[in-house]
């Protein structure tokens, strides 16, 4: 990855980097690297440590860090950029005028797995694909629908949602 001059980085980009560094120290097994797969590992971490929603206190700094990290994964893999006026949104991903990754992170902690971080990414990717901007497949597999993912999560007794993603991406 090309390094970015810190003076040219947005505060959200800097916060994503700080979150990644903290996670590398506190939970190195999650292996955050700005890839789509790292969102699935982050989702698993959140699920293991913070579900069911509301069962544990979640600091605002954690929500902000996760949201900024999600935003950077979106930007690095699908395009767009943080709002130049400093608003917590990503702009210019094809027809999508604005994405609010910090709000998506808050929803994940409020509503649980149905608001998965990985699902948020794939939903945006689908919209970009429909606009002709990206490929329709992930690692050679057709993208699942939200209904397929939720059905699989309901049917699987072990890991539910994450078991589905592990199967989809070939992880064991």
Residue-wise pLDDT tens digits, 127-154: 888 877 655 444 434 444 444 444 444 4
Question: Exposed (0-12), middle (13-18) or buried (19+): which is 27, by Cβ within 10 Å?
Answer: middle
Q: What is the pLDDT of residue 54?
A: 82
In a domain, 150, yes or no: no
Q: What is the pLDDT of residue 160?
A: 45
- The sheet carrying 81-82 orders its strands as 81-82, 90-93, 96-99
Note down the domain range covering 14: 6-136
In a domain, 144, yes or no: no
In a domain, 152, yes or no: no
**In the block, residue with structure tokens 């797995």:** 113
First and final C-alpha spacing in the chain: 27
Q: What is the pLDDT of residue 129?
A: 84
The answer to whether the CB of 72 falls within 8 A of the CB of 14 is: no
Which is higher by pLDDT, 124 or 133? Answer: 124
Report the percent of the chain where pLDDT is more than 90: 59
Q: What is the CATH number of the domain that holds 32?
A: 1.20.120
Total domains in the fold of the chain: 1
Say whether pLDDT at 58 is over 80. yes
In a domain, 87, yes or no: yes
Say whether pLDDT at 20 is over 90. yes
Which is higher by pLDDT, 164 or 131? Answer: 131
User: How confident is the model over 59-107, as pLDDT tens digits?
Assistant: 999 999 999 999 999 999 999 999 999 999 999 988 888 999 999 999 9
- Tokens, residue 162: 């994450």
Distance CA 141, CA 116 (A): 19
**In the block, residue with structure tokens 């608003």:** 87
In a domain, 66, yes or no: yes
pTM for the predicted model, two decimal places: 0.73
């Amino acid at each position: 990855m090309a390094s970015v001059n810190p003076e040219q980085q947005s505060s959200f980009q800097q916060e994503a980097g700080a979150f990644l560094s903290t996670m590398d120290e506190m939970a190195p097994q999650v292996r955050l690297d700005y890839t789509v797969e790292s969102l699935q590992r982050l989702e698993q971490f959140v699920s293991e440590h913070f579900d069911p929603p509301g069962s544990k206190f979640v600091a605002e700094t954690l929500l902000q860090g996760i949201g900024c990290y999600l935003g950077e994964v979106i930007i690095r893999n699908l395009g767009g950029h943080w709002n130049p006026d400093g608003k917590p949104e990503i702009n210019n991903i094809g027809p999508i005028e604005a994405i609010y990754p910090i709000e998506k992170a808050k929803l994940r902690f409020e509503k649980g797995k149905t608001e998965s971080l990985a699902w948020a990414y794939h939903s945006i990717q689908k919209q970009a694909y429909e606009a002709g901007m990206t490929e329709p497949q992930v690692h050679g597999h057709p993208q699942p629908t939200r209904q397929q993912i939720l059905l699989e999560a309901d049917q699987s007794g072990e890991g539910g949602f994450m078991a589905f993603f592990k199967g989809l991406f070939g992880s064991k």
